[in-house]
Amino acid sequence: MADKPVLFELEQDAAEAAPDVANAPPVPDLDDHPRLATPPLVRFVSRPRSRLVTLFWTVLVALVGAVVSIAAWDFAMAMLARFPPLGWALSAGFAVLILSAFVLSLRELTALRRLRRVDDLRSRLTSAEDDLSAARGAVADLKALYSSRADMAWGLARLKERESEVFDADALFQLAEEDLMAPLDALALAEVQAAARQVALVTALVPLALADVITALVASLRMIRRIAEIYGGRSGFLSSWRLTRMVLAHLAATGAVAVGDDLLEHVLGGSVLSKLSRRFGEGLVNGALSARVGLAAMEICRPMPFSPRHKPSTRKVIQAALASLISKGE
């Protein structure tokens, strides 16, 4: 027995099922989320030092300097009384030493001031993401930071031509990141990859127990100093020490201190790791740690925070740095 035909009222069903646009929920505003990737981290690593600690070290340095100066003066006067030629020679040596210390102090103060300028500029760029006038002022200071560098002339000229065409802070930041930061990022990544390869090779090839530790320490300090110079910092003992502390605080804040076989397995492949010797595997782990230190140094030394689009991937950087060693080892 054949079924009877069934009639469907499509227009009526469609009218009943159609949602009311007026009652639809509002579209979430994506601008409420921060555009830049590192503001909380920047606040963590750049928090001010305790005043009590600053007072302690200031008084200690002043007292030690006074004691050393008085002892040196008494020694020079005693030598002048006993043997004048030797006393005058020692006095001249002390004068040269004091002058050298004064020049070095000026260099250290200049380096610290430069580092503080970069920190302040990064904070301004972070807080000006929704204000076009503030963004233009911060980008102008960013251009002034690199105005004396010949290698940045093309990027500065290109940004000057294009910045008048944008009327949005995000677009202005994107232009500045592409024209000014991208070439510097490439140089900094090259330093990170070179340091990671060096640490990995020394760990794998040198059988001495402390060789890998010393190599990793020296390579990391040199890498941090070079990255700071690439982004416009000045190399000095105090500034390098402060940068190292900030990088370590960065690593502690992001939980990026430890790296092991799990990460390398995802980066290089489990089949590759299974063929490596224990010593070569330790070299890869140390190289990956050095790469993470370098990426942390980039985020600290960069005057403009990374946007999510331009932030380098840890896995890609480690893979680019260590994949060539794997191919050679095979």
What's the rounded Cα separation, in Å, for the pair 126 and 305? 7
Helix (H, G, I), strand (E, B) or coil at 313: coil
Q: What integer pLDDT is reported at residue 97 of this predicted model?
A: 85
Is the pLDDT confidence value at 260 over 70?
no
> Which residue would you say has higher pLDDT here, 6 or 243?
243
The kind and range of the H/E element at 124 are helix 84-127
Query: What is the share, in percent, of the chain residues with pLDDT greater than 70?
Result: 72
Q: What integer pLDDT is reported at residue 313 of this predicted model?
A: 81
Q: What integer pLDDT is reported at residue 171 of this predicted model?
A: 86
Q: Exposed, middle or buried: residue 57 (CB in 10 Å: 0-12, 13-18, 19+)?
A: exposed
Query: Mean pLDDT over residues 127-132, rounded?
Result: 79
Q: What integer pLDDT is reported at residue 71 of this predicted model?
A: 87
What's the rounded Cα separation, in Å, for the pair 272 and 261? 11
Q: What is the pLDDT of residues 177-225, one digit of tens each?
A: 989 998 999 999 999 999 888 888 888 777 776 777 788 888 888 888 8
pLDDT band, residue 10 (cuts 50/70/90): low
Q: What is the pLDDT of residues 140-188, one digit of tens each?
A: 888 988 888 888 889 889 988 888 888 888 888 888 898 999 899 999 9
pTM, two decimal places? 0.67
Helix (H, G, I), strand (E, B) or coil at 109: helix
Residue 9 φ/ψ, nearest 5 degrees: -90, 90
pLDDT band, residue 279 (cuts 50/70/90): low
Q: What integer pLDDT is reported at residue 45 of this predicted model?
A: 46
Q: Which of 276, 265, 249, 253 is nearest to 319 (CA)?
A: 265
CB distance 323 to 53 below 8 Å: no
Q: What is the pLDDT of residues 288-323, one digit of tens each?
A: 888 888 888 888 888 888 888 888 887 788 778 777
What's the rounded Cα separation, in Å, for the pair 326 and 204? 12
What's the rounded Cα separation, in Å, for the pair 74 and 203? 51
What's the rounded Cα separation, in Å, for the pair 42 and 46? 6
Q: What integer pLDDT is reported at residue 164 of this predicted model?
A: 82
What's the rounded Cα separation, in Å, for the pair 109 and 241? 13
CB distance 125 to 173 below 8 Å: yes
Q: What integer pLDDT is reported at residue 29 of this predicted model?
A: 42
Work out the end-to-end distance of the chain between its first and last CA atoms, rounded to an integer number of angstroms. Answer: 75
Instruction: Name the average pLDDT for the chain.
Output: 75
What's the rounded Cα separation, in Å, for the pair 43 and 61? 29
Contacts of 72 (CB under 8 A, 6+ apart): 94
Q: What integer pLDDT is reported at residue 2 of this predicted model?
A: 54
Q: What integer pLDDT is reported at residue 188 of this predicted model?
A: 92
Provide the 10 A C-beta neighbour count for residue 231.
Answer: 22
Q: What is the pLDDT of residues 69-93, one digit of tens each?
A: 888 888 888 888 888 888 888 888 8
Is the pLDDT confidence value at 13 over 60?
no
